[in-house]
Amino acid sequence: MELEKETNSTVSDFEIDIMQKLLESQHVTMRIDDIKAMITDDRALANAYLDAYQVDKETMSEIRFIVEKKLSELYVQKYEKSLVLNDDTLRSYYIDHNDEFSHKIMVNAEFFNFSDFNSAYRFYAQGKTDLDKLEVLAQENNATFKTYEVNVQNLNDAIKWAMKPIEEENYLLPPLFFTNHFTVVYIKKIRTNVQLPYDEKMKKRIREFLIKKNRNNIRIKLLKKLDHEK
């Protein structure tokens, strides 16, 4: 494996999208401009290192391990996509594990993320008196936002602590700090005793769970197959 300089100094939208997904998987939120700047700076420093130094054996081994780990995961995932679990199997699991698919309390909430406290508090102060304009206010204050419906037990402890009594809804929580950003949560609706339906989304969820549960066996099967083909 050899490392070569990235000669293209322009950061593409594709690269920004990939980095954004990677950051989200690590529960990190950054603005697009900041992501672009980070990639640009890292690339410049990496190229400077390659110009000035030779990559040592230990570092190369670390890089190889990271690449091999990723490629091995992709190889297993490619095989998993070819596996067929029929509807009877999926439905049986849904029926036999009914408790897993029912939630006593579901919260429909919108999460507004800000890079600084002043913007988050300004949004909160303006928004709590005019809930119909939250998305407009979010854009004015450079916020990113997404809507989720989640089991209340899966909410962050700080959010649960800040929430009003569970029967109340349609209100804003004050800014909360998470790792490197501030979040204002809009509690839109509360549903109780919710049974999740057996639909295409549920089938996908059960399929992914069953495959993940047997992933180690799948790896062993593939390794045996490769060994047999030698």
Residues 26 and 67 in one domain: yes
Mean pLDDT, residues 115-133: 93
Domain end position, chosen among 21, 52, 81: 81
**pLDDT, tens digit, 9 for 90 and up, residues 19-46:** 999 998 888 888 999 999 999 999 999 9
Residues 71 and 145 in one domain: no
Q: b/e map of 30-68 (b: 16 or more CB within 10 Å)?
A: bbeeebbeebeeebeeeeeeeeeeeeeeeeeeeeeeeee
**pLDDT, tens digit, 9 for 90 and up, residues 144-192:** 999 988 888 778 888 888 888 767 888 999 999 987 899 999 999 888 7
Whether 7 maps to a domain, the answer reads: no
If one counts the domains in the chain, the total is 3
Percent of the chain with pLDDT over 70: 99
Residues 186 and 204 in one domain: no
Residues 34 and 70 in one domain: yes
**pLDDT, tens digit, 9 for 90 and up, residues 57-102:** 999 999 999 999 999 999 999 999 888 899 999 999 999 988 788 7
Residues 92 and 113 in one domain: no
Residues 75 and 106 in one domain: no
Place 14 in a pLDDT band, splitting at 50, 70 and 90. Answer: very high
Cβ(144)–Cβ(108) below 8 Å: no
